[in-house]
Amino acid sequence: MKFSLIAAVVVLALAQGSFAQEAFNLEKLGQYFEEVKNKMTEIIHNQDLANQAQTFLEDRKTEMEPLASQIQDQLRTAATNIEEQIKPLAAQMQPMFDNLQKQMEALIQNMAEQARAIGN
């Protein structure tokens, strides 16, 4: 009887340990699913954030296109005005540049002749 009582206690202890192990495994499994749920929520949230960022950029692009067009038109107008002002100035200065070029060519030719004279 003592043996059967001890055997019953041992069997109950083993059964309890087995149930405890299963409960531990269920707890680990529950934690795993909780982590997966959290990661999925994070991924979905990040996709929402990415979609919001894309929408924001597209909205700002739409808002900026007319402004960019206006700035481009203003730059064209400014470039045309500057060109109109510089053309007469360039035309007035062209004779001075031609004269400077002739003087520089004469100076270089004179230096070359002096170098030849020194070399001989």
18: closest CA among 10, 30, 29?
10
> Where exactly are the structural domains of the chain?
1-92
pLDDT of 112 strictly over 70: yes
Give residue 39's pLDDT.
78
Q: Could you tell me the two tokens for 100?
A: 């400077």
Condensed to tens digits (0 to 9), the pLDDT of residues 53-100 reads 788 888 888 888 888 888 888 989 988 998 888 888 888 889 999 999
pLDDT of 25 strictly over 70: no
Give residue 14's pLDDT.
52
Cα end-to-end distance, the chain, whole Å: 138
> Side chain identity at 39, as an amino acid letter?
K
pTM assigned to the model: 0.39
